[in-house]
Amino acid sequence: MKLKAIALLTIALLVSTACGGGTSSTGGGVAAGSIKGNITLWHAYGTGGSEETALNGIIDTIKKANPDAKITVLQVPFDQVFNKFQTEAAAGGGPDLFTAPNDELGNEVRANLLLALDDKLKGKLDKVAPLGVDGLKVAGKLYGIPMLFKAVALYYNKDKVPTPPKTTDELMTMVKAGKTIVQNQNGYHLFGWPAAFGGKLLDDSGKCVADQGGWADAMQYQLALKAAGGKFETDGGRADTSFRQGQVDMIINGPWVLGDYKKDLGAKLGVAPMPAGPKGKAGPLTGVDGWYINNSAKNVDGAIALALAITDAVGQKAYADVAGDVPVRTDVTVSDPLVKSFADASATGFARPQSAEFANYWGPFGDAVTKIIEGKSTPAAGIAEACAAMNKANKK
């Protein structure tokens, strides 16, 4: 509770400093008092989590500076946010704007659910890193206001692991020597490894080429890691708990839990990019969190102005300081070295594709991971089967 109060106070101070008493314009070009009307906003941050704390603090400040705006905030469970938005927006309802990773952006654009924003945002995203803007584009058009980069990295407990492993060999040596790592057993958290072994998922035509090398080697490495004592968990909460309670020394996870891990581990917490492999750096999926405007929004101008205010330099600084998220703006200085590590991880990541083909990665490769890790399939056979299934679904 005390931490929450301090966080809120920090945000309020930061915002008040930047706004100069609520009269100057914000970094996104939104003047105080310019956000008007009823605006409904959805987010999928966990209750009481650091990201929700950051957002609530920013919204409170915006409300004070914009008394004509009536902002309604609704929290939606993360595993339902895309489905809920897509179903409601497709029927003409839903919020005016919502924030989420760009996981479903392509599908939403193809279903005509989001407003194209190129004209409305002309000249307003000059301070945003190009990767952030590109991440919210589909077929060359911009469909969101970028806010954060998100890619997984290696968290480690400094008490147990003074120097994080830089390579896969170093990690293996450490695990064999008794250090422990827990990995979420799914296609997202393990996505970064194949690039380190020279693997590629899709070619330029959208055809799966994971069966042509690298992916099977990466999975073989995972099996060796498991044999050496590495843990694999299908339950993300359980994996988190084991790291937060100090039962395991390392975990691969994203910046969205940084604030929460800090609460438990404090100064013991370290973050490093995923170890590089024999063929290069690891390539976790780099996503971009953005604010999306519903095609059925009743207050489009209000929604865009609100999103710009939330994602201005002050807002992104607050997200970085309170939640440990990586800002997409180039004019935001990140002071926390842990957040900087996540920024490095995001920079080396594989930009999450918005193609219809990539949407068919999750089912086949999710199953392949389970089959391989559980010993029901060899790495080569499992990856070949998944790749064939993905190509079949994509008619490639």
- List the x/- string, 310-349, binding to other proteins by CB under 8 A: ----------------------------------------
Residue closer to other proteins (CB basis): 21 or 237: 237
Residue spans of alpha helices (H) in the chain: 2-19, 50-65, 78-90, 105-110, 130-135, 168-176, 193-196, 215-228, 236-244, 258-265, 300-310, 313-318, 337-348, 362-373, 379-393
Closest residue by Cα to residue 273 from 169, 159, 155: 155
363 touching other proteins, by CB under 8 A: yes
Residue closer to other proteins (CB basis): 72 or 83: 83
Element of type H or E holding 297: none
Kindly give the interhelix angle for 50-65 and 300-310, rounded to the nearest 10 degrees: 120
Residue closer to other proteins (CB basis): 5 or 139: 139
Closest residue by Cα to residue 357 from 203, 237, 227: 203
> Rounded to the nearest 5°, which phi and psi values hold at 349?
-75, 175
- Measured from the CB of residue 207, what is the shortest distance to other proteins in angstroms? 14
- Measured from the CB of residue 10, what is the shortest distance to other proteins in angstroms? 35
Exactly one of 43, 150, 179, 371 binds other proteins (CB under 8 A); that residue is: 371
Q: Which residues pair with 291 in a beta bridge?
A: 99, 145
Residue closer to other proteins (CB basis): 239 or 345: 239
Q: Over the range 113-137, which residues count as b (16 or more CB within 10 Å of their CB) and which as e?
A: bbbbbeebbeebbebbbebbbebbb
Number of H helices, E strands in the chain: 15, 14
- Measured from the CB of residue 112, what is the shortest distance to other proteins in angstroms? 6
Task: Report DSSP state, residue 49.
Answer: -
Residue closer to other proteins (CB basis): 47 or 335: 47
- Measured from the CB of residue 83, what is the shortest distance to other proteins in angstroms? 5
Residues in 207-246 at the binding interface with other proteins, rule: CB under 8 A? 234-235, 238
378 touching other proteins, by CB under 8 A: no
Residue closer to other proteins (CB basis): 107 or 378: 107
Closest residue by Cα to residue 366 from 164, 184, 151: 184
Q: By CB under 8 A, how many residues form the interface with other proteins? A: 29
Residue closer to other proteins (CB basis): 164 or 187: 187
- Measured from the CB of residue 366, what is the shortest distance to other proteins in angstroms? 7
Residue closer to other proteins (CB basis): 118 or 374: 374
- Measured from the CB of residue 71, what is the shortest distance to other proteins in angstroms? 26
Residue 248, Cβ density class (10 Å: 0-12 exposed, 13-18 middle, ≥19 buried): buried
CA distances from residue 391 to 108, 139, 186, 202, 396 in whole angstroms, order as listed: 22, 21, 20, 10, 5
Identify residue 71 by its one-letter amino acid code: I
Exactly one of 236, 367, 380, 381 binds other proteins (CB under 8 A); that residue is: 367
386 touching other proteins, by CB under 8 A: yes
Exactly one of 134, 366, 378, 381 binds other proteins (CB under 8 A); that residue is: 366
Task: Report DSSP state, residue 320.
Answer: I
**Could you give the CA distance from residue 177 to residue 211 in angstroms, rounded to a whole number?**
32
Exactly one of 254, 284, 324, 364 binds other proteins (CB under 8 A); that residue is: 364
Given the rule CB under 8 A, which of 53-61, 132-140, 207-215, 363-371 is the region that contacts other proteins? 363-371
- Measured from the CB of residue 134, what is the shortest distance to other proteins in angstroms? 24
- Measured from the CB of residue 111, what is the shortest distance to other proteins in angstroms? 4
Residues in 83-122 at the binding interface with other proteins, rule: CB under 8 A? 83, 86-87, 90-92, 107, 110-113
- Measured from the CB of residue 104, what is the shortest distance to other proteins in angstroms? 10
> Rounded to the nearest 5°, which phi and psi values hold at 69?
-95, 135
Residue closer to other proteins (CB basis): 169 or 367: 367
The answer to whether the beta carbons of residues 145 and 291 sit under 8 Å apart is yes
Q: Which residue has the tokens 């086949």?
A: 364
Give, in degrees to the nearest 5, the angle at Cα 302 between 298 and 304.
105
Binding residues (CB under 8 A) for other proteins: these are 83, 86-87, 90-92, 107, 110-113, 234-235, 238, 360, 363-364, 366-367, 370-371, 374-376, 386, 389, 392-394
